[in-house]
Amino acid sequence: MKAIIPAAGLGTRFLPATKAQPKEMLPVLNKPVIQYVVEEAVAAGVDDVLIITGRGKRAIEDHFDRSVELEDLLERAGDTEKLRQVRGISELAEVFYVRQKRPRGLGHAVLCGAAHTGDQPFFVLLGDVIMPNASCLKRLREVHERYGASVIAVTPVEEQYVSRYGVIAGHEVEPGVWKVTDLVEKPAINTAPSNLAIFGRYLLTPKVMEILPHVEPGRGGEIQLTDALRELLKSEELYAISLECEGYDTGNVLSWIEANIALGLESPEFGADLRERLEALLGRGTRGEE
């Protein structure tokens, strides 16, 4: 199965860090965000990854390419572990690239992959969203196979924050699986049909690629994937799975910090030391407040 990873956005929420480097290359611990995303796809059986890039995103291509000078150096130094790590990145999957000439929105970025996915269903994984648990794509695929329809991942958000997200309306057809009847972009708190927000992972039928060229620019003048999915509802069913695990939108500075702390605490390499340092920092904060 193929996956599209849109990574051509400007990352304005993360300026100035993203002025001259892709936000998808920001590290969480010692690994760039987009490597987590590609590894998640590979773990779910994806063998063909199409990354949508744009101007200023060269570092992404370099990251998944061989680095001959670095490999020579590590080989000469006898550092086999680092050598294995560096080579492994370039061997993760068959990675292809298409450039989105201008960041015209997520829907437009996905459309840039139409020739690549053809008449097959495909995954979409946002290049700045980390899902620490690999089960999300597996569940998307199971539900897709059961209902023969597109499936999107949603996550419950606190009610006061619904107006920041695209939210689904629908009813639960089995535990954790929703049949979507509508999608509402950034609803007001009192009009939101649910608190289930669309969150970074999709399995879409080729019909979406037929719809996208006709989608008019929507919110922010961008071609929105959500608008294409709303149009899709007129001709096909759409399902949503509610995520059990927590994902991180690393394009948002606070979530990126949270991802570093959460994954850091779980890491065998950094976990124990990080916990100690955090406790010391928090202790210092409390003392300061007294």
Give the range of 3-11, 42-50, 186-194, 267-275 binding ligand UTP by CB under 6 A. Answer: 3-11
Residue 166 touches ligand UTP, criterion: CB under 6 A: no
Q: Is the CB of residue 52 less than 8 Å from the CB of residue 3?
A: no
Question: Judged by CB, which is closer to ligand UTP: 74, or 249?
Answer: 249
Stretch that binds ligand UTP, among 71-79, 81-89, 121-129, 162-170 (CB under 6 A): 121-129
**Residue 267 amino acid letter:** S
Per CB under 6 A, 104 contacts ligand UTP: yes
Distance of CA 86 to the CA centre of its chain: 23
Phi, psi of 228 (to 5 degrees): -65, -35
Q: Which residues pair with 172 in a beta bridge?
A: 178
* CB of 226 vs ligand UTP, minimal distance in Å: 11
- Closest to ligand UTP by CB, 106 or 131: 106
Closest separation in Å from C-beta 271 to ligand UTP: 28
Which residues are 221's β-sheet partners? none
* Candidate list 2, 3, 4, 7; residue touching ligand UTP; CB under 6 A: 7
User: Do residues 209 and 111 touch, judged by C-beta distance below 8 A?
Assistant: yes
Please say whether the beta carbons of 181 and 172 come within 8 A: no
Other residues' Cβ atoms within 10 Å of the Cβ of residue 156: 13
Cα separation, 273 vs 232, in Å, equals 49
Minimum CB separation of residue 125 from ligand UTP in Å reads 9
User: In degrees, to the nearest 5, what angle opens at C-alpha 59 toward C-alphas 57 and 64?
Assistant: 115
Select from 122-130, 148-156, 172-180, 257-265 the region that touches ligand UTP (CB under 6 A): 122-130
Site size toward ligand UTP (CB under 6 A) is: 21
Name which of 125 and 274 has its Cβ closer to ligand UTP.
Answer: 125
Task: Give yes or no for residue 11 binding ligand UTP (CB under 6 A).
Answer: yes
Looking at 32, 113, 121, 127, which residue binds ligand UTP (CB under 6 A)? Answer: 127
Alpha-carbon separation of residue 279 from 244, 269, 276 (angstroms): 28, 18, 5
Q: Which stretch binds ligand UTP (CB under 6 A): 6-14, 60-68, 142-150, 170-178?
A: 6-14
In one letter, which amino acid is 47?
A: D
Query: Angle at which helices 135-147 and 33-43 pack, to 10 degrees?
Result: 50
Alpha carbons 187 and 165: distance in angstroms, whole number: 8
Residue from 28, 50, 83, 126 in contact with ligand UTP (CB under 6 A): 126
Whichever of 18 and 260 has its CB closer to ligand UTP, that residue is 18
Q: Does residue number 116 form part of the binding site for ligand UTP (CB under 6 A)? A: no
> What residue type is assigned to position 83 of the chain?
L
Cα 155 to its chain centre, rounded Å, is 13
Determine what percent of the chain falls in helix, strand and coil, rounding each to the nearest 5.
45, 25, 30
Binding mask 45-84 for ligand UTP (x = CB under 6 A): -------x--------------------------------
Stretch that binds ligand UTP, among 4-12, 74-82, 132-140, 169-177 (CB under 6 A): 4-12
Binding residues vs ligand UTP (CB under 6 A): 6-13, 24, 52, 100, 103-106, 108-109, 126-128, 251
